[in-house]
Copies of this chain bind each other. A is one copy, B any other.
Amino acid sequence: MTRAQLIQQIKIKRSFLCVGLDTDIKKIPSFLLEFEDPVYEFNKRIIEATSDLCVAYKPNTAFYECYGLKGWTSLQKTWEILPKDCFSIADAKRGDIGNTANMYAQAFFDEGASGLGFDSITVAPYMGSDSVLPFLQFKDKWAIILALTSNQGSADFQNIQDKEGVQLFERVIERANYWGSPENLMYVVGATRGEAFKIIRKHAPDHFLLVPGVGAQGGSLEDVCTYGMNADCGLLINATRSIIYASSGKDFAEKAREEAILLQKAMEKELIKANII
């Protein structure tokens, strides 16, 4: 999917919601366990209930790999039913050097080889340029680089200041801006830090930002939009638990839809406020 197509979807759906598919078999309604592939059945119902309200889906690969071959099968089947008008993100946080990064790109982008053809993949920056560049060789595919994450340990390294007082996550964005463009690069920025978006936007005014941490992790949608939105929206805000685990009963899909509607409505307000729609 191109940047223009993504922006168009945001305007059509009046939403910049990304739904995380971190499907944990221990947390899904028990009646689904009778199916042959409960994780896939859960995802299918969540997707059906939310696809008109969100512009992206983001399965985290760890939740599939942890069941080995069976889990990889659920991921494969889930990818196959992701609506084509939604931006698909393999939240895999891969990072390896040149030749090996090529293999990871093939794993998540090249449907003919691997069976998976996601629009994008999350990538860890620690190994530097040659761990990211191979992902940018694929037409209309994206690398989403970890910049500033919202977890507790993020400060361990991401906030280290160099001799010029520049923090590591800023250096990551500065360098990565040379590797790609706003047409094929996004950054992950945790939403628990509203003020951090000011710094991020200084370095990356035009890039889309993938923002986890709104809702369950404590970030405020309004804060993120105040500091992080740009003229094209420039935000994909991810919600996972608040949507997919809105209910543990038979009504889980219905409740997921209700939660998604609340977020979509709040996002619509922000898009109107910013004169984007």
Which residues of A pack against B, CB within 8 Å?
A: 22, 60, 62-63, 65-69, 71-73, 76, 93-98, 100-101, 103-104, 106-107, 110, 113-116, 124-132, 146, 149, 151-158, 160-163, 165, 168, 171-172, 175
Contact = CB atoms under 8 A, between A and B. Distances in A.
Given A65-B104, A69-B115, A100-B22, A157 B172 contact: yes
A110 B68 CA distance: 10
Contact of A95 (B65, B114, B124, B130): B124
A77 to B, nearest CB: 10
Given A73-B69, A151-B128, A163-B161, A156 B175 contact: yes
A80 to B, nearest CB: 12
Contacts of A151: 97-98, 127-128, 130-131
B157 A126 contact: yes
A88 to B, nearest CB: 15
Q: Which of A22, A68, A114 gathers most chain B CB within 10 Å?
A: A68
A161 B158 contact: no
A115 B73 CA distance: 14
A128 B154 contact: yes
Contacts of A68: 72, 76, 107, 113-116
Nearest to A172: B157
A72 to B, nearest CB: 5
Contacts of A106: 66
A106 B60 CA distance: 14
Contact of A162 (B116, B129, B154, B160): B160
A128 B152 contact: yes
Instruction: Specify which of A96, A113, A171 lies most central, judged by the most chain B CB atoms within 10 Å of its CB.
Output: A96
Given A65-B103, A107-B65, A126 B124 contact: yes
A11 to B, nearest CB: 32
B146 A126 contact: yes
A62 B171 contact: no
B153 A129 contact: yes
A66 B153 contact: no
Contacts of A104: 62, 65-66
A78 to B, nearest CB: 13
Q: Which of A116, A125, A130, A151 has the most CB of B within 10 A?
A: A151
B97 A96 contact: no
Residue with the greatest number of chain B CB neighbours at <10 A, chosen from A110, A156, A171:
A156
Nearest to A175: B156
B65 A69 contact: no
A146 B97 CA distance: 12
Given A72-B72, A93-B127, A97-B149, 16 more contacts: A66-B107, A67-B113, A68-B113, A68-B115, A69-B73, A69-B76, A127-B149, A127-B151, A128-B154, A130-B151, A132-B153, A157-B171, A160-B168, A162-B162, A162-B163, A168-B168
